[in-house]
Amino acid sequence: QTALIHRFNGIPFTTRSSPDLLKSLDAFDAREDDILLVSYPKSGTHWLAQIIKQIYTPKVTLTSPIEFGDISKVEELNNLSSKRIIPTHLDYNMLPSNFKVKQCKAFYIIRNPKDTAVSMYHYYRDNPNLPTIDSWTVFLQLFLRGDVVCGSWFDHFLSWEEHKNDRNILFLFYEDMKKDLPTVVKKMSVFLGVNISDSEIKEICEKSSFTEMKSNVEKENSDPNHTVCALTSNRKLIFRKGAVGDWKNHFTPKQNKMFEEMFNKKMKLSELLASKQKLSKTL
């Protein structure tokens, strides 16, 4: 059970991220044209990856997360000759400093933390790489304490939010993507400096719909090289409901109150959320 998890810099990681790899990451050699795909788990990482891959078509390699694997990972990434799209769940402080020095472009995807918690709860239950969880009530307590893989949602978000004015980082909201995907795809392509036509955008949106992605995954054999989450190699575990507001089916009024108290306390200084009024509106 607990053997599935170890802590590094105080943050819980699964044993699929070896301590040796985590230790070596700070010396990681970034390239100026690397693109980072950053998220707290269950925020829509696979969705975003699917879109970016299509914006670039064949000329890029979507790698597995930088923190996934053992020390050989560094060499594997060094050996790639094509442009690299690198997913990661690392918080800003743990991001290899070379990415910061070279000002690599990064996407940070945010999802309503209540839906994120629910998604993560189901993931814990289905994923053999994660500890067993007795109930939703127990899980929610762990989530609020930051006692889950990748640590506290609040701390993760806040560590990246501090860099909201960095020109190389684009913040995207899961809820915006659900509401109006073409606009988000357009914004992404402009940020990447890639020209795509409206009909290409339309096609990208069709190919990255939840139904399309879920049915594609059911047809394929699990290939660990294709997962963009450090927590599983089984893509079939990723596509559950893909909805906004599923938290309403899980939270009791008391749990909701507890969550909001914590949210308001922690997010007091979050200008990004205040100005967008996004998450608080759905909260």
Nearest to 193 by CA among 92, 95, 52, 87: 52
CB of 268 to ligand A3P, least distance (A): 26
Tell me whether residue 138 is exposed, middle or buried, using C-beta atoms within 10 angstroms of its C-beta: 0 to 12, 13 to 18, 19 or more: exposed
Residue closest to ligand A3P when measured from CB atoms: 242
Complex with ligand A3P: residue 238 or 267, whichever CB lies closer: 238
Q: Which of 46, 89, 122, 156 is catalytic?
A: 89
Complex with ligand A3P: residue 42 or 156, whichever CB lies closer: 42
Complex with ligand A3P: residue 12 or 19, whichever CB lies closer: 12
Query: Residue 32's Cα: distance from chain center in Å?
Result: 21
Query: And the tokens for 145?
Result: 């304490």
| H or E element at residue 66 | none
CB of 186 to ligand A3P, least distance (A): 17
Complex with ligand A3P: residue 37 or 169, whichever CB lies closer: 37
Tell me whether residue 144 is exposed, middle or buried, using C-beta atoms within 10 angstroms of its C-beta: 0 to 12, 13 to 18, 19 or more: buried
Query: And the tokens for 63?
Result: 């790698």
Continuous H helices in 127-239: 136-145, 153-161, 174-179, 181-192, 198-207, 210-219
Binding site for ligand A3P (CB under 6 A): 39, 41-47, 119, 122, 208-210, 213, 229, 238-242, 246
| H or E element at residue 50 | helix 45-56
Catalytic residue check, 156: no
CB of 78 to ligand A3P, least distance (A): 26
CB of 214 to ligand A3P, least distance (A): 7
CB of 174 to ligand A3P, least distance (A): 7
- What angle is formed at CA 148 by the lines to CA 1 and CA 146, rounded to 5 degrees? 140
**What residue type is assigned to position 221 of the chain?**
N
Complex with ligand A3P: residue 45 or 64, whichever CB lies closer: 45
Q: What b/e string do you get for 163-178 counting C-beta neighbours within 10 Å, with b at 16 or more?
A: eeeeeebbbbbbbbbb
Just list the catalytic residues.
Answer: 89
